Amino acid sequence: MTVQTAIRPACPPPAALMGRTTRLGSPDQNEPLRAAGSVTQVSEGREIFAQGADNDVFYKVVSGVVRTCKFLNDGRRQIEAFHVAGDVFGFDLGDERPMSAEAVSDCTLICYRRRSVEALGQKDGAVTRQLLQYAMQNLAQAQSHALLLGRRGAAEKVAAFLLDWADRSDQQNNVRLAMTRQDIADYLGLTIESVSRSLSQFERDGVIALPNARDVRIRSNEALEDLAA
C-alpha cells in the first residue's frame, strides 16, 4: 500500500459526515467503529490499494473523493463507484482485493483493520449491524449503477450521472466535478469523446452551462431528468 499514513492525532471526529439512513445501524453519537480507526491522508491521484493486494483493511471517507475500479487484462478500466464523505469502501469478501482504489482528489480517510473490527463485532452487535448497513448501501449503489450501464444510451447515462452528483452536492445546481472526463467515461462505460459530446449537447440545448470543464451549472433540472429517461 502506497499511502502515506500521516498523523494520528486525537482525531477530528468525523461525526458530521455519516451517510444517510440509519435504520439498521445506530445513530451517529455512538458510531460503533469510532474507536477502531486511524486517520490517513492520501493525495490526489495516489493509489490507496491495488487489485489483487492483501485485503486486510477498509476505509471510510472523511473528505475528498475516492474511486474504486477494476481492470481487465487489456487495460480497460471500469470504475465501480465514486466514494464521498461518509461512504465506506474497500470492504470486500476474500483475501485478495477484487478491485483497486485511488484518490480522485486529496482525501482524508479513516482506516480500519478488518480483523480488529471483526473481533469488535463479536463482542458488540452494533458494530456488525453498522457494517451491514454500509454493505447494503454499497449494494444499492452497485445495483443502480448496473441499471445505468446496461440499458441506457450515452446521453441518458451522462444526464443520470449529473443528477446523481448534484444530489451529493451542497448546491444542488452548481455541481463541481472532482473527476476527469476519463473517470466519468470509465464509470459510465463510455469514451471521453461521448461524454464530452453529451455535455456539449446539453449546453447547446440550454439544459446546463459549462463555465469550465470542472463545473456544471444545471439550468433545468426537469429537462435533465427527462434526458435521464
Partner DNA sequence: CGCTTAATTGATCAGGGTCAATCGTGGTGG
Partner DNA sequence: CCACCACGATTGACCCTGATCAATTAAGCG
Task: List contacts with its own copies (CB under 8 A).
Answer: 17, 19-21, 23-24, 70, 72-74, 76-78, 80, 91-95, 98-99, 114, 118, 121-122, 125, 128-129, 131-132, 135-140, 142-147, 149-152, 186, 188-189, 229
Q: Which one, 171 or 182, has the nearer CB to DNA?
A: 182
End-to-end CA, the chain: 41
Which of its own copies, DNA, none is residue 214 near (CB under 5 to 8 Å by kind)? Answer: DNA
Nearest distance from C-beta of residue 106 to its own copies, angstroms:
26
Provide the binding-site residues for DNA, judged by CB under 7 A.
153-155, 180-182, 189-197, 199-200, 210, 212-214
The Cα–Cα gap between 155 and 157 comes to 5
Among DNA, its own copies, none, partner that 119 touches (CB below 5 to 8 angstroms by kind): none
Q: Which does 16 bind (CB under 5 to 8 A by kind): its own copies, DNA, none?
A: none
Which string of b and e fits 172-210 if b means at least 16 CB within 10 Å?
Answer: ebebebbbebebbbbbbbbeeebbbebbeebeeeebbee
Q: How many residues does the chain have?
A: 229
Least distance in angstroms from the C-beta of 197 to its own copies: 19
Residue 168 interacting entry, from its own copies, DNA, none, C-beta within 5 to 8 Å by type: none
With residue 140 as reference, give the H or E element that holds it: helix 125-150
* Greatest pairwise CA separation for the chain in angstroms: 58
Output 9 or 75, the one with its CB closest to its own copies.
75
CA proximity to 208, closest of 193, 222, 194: 222
* Contacting residues for 90 by C-beta, under 8 A, at least 6 apart: 48, 49, 55, 57, 58, 59, 68, 97, 101
CB of 185 to DNA, least distance (A): 8
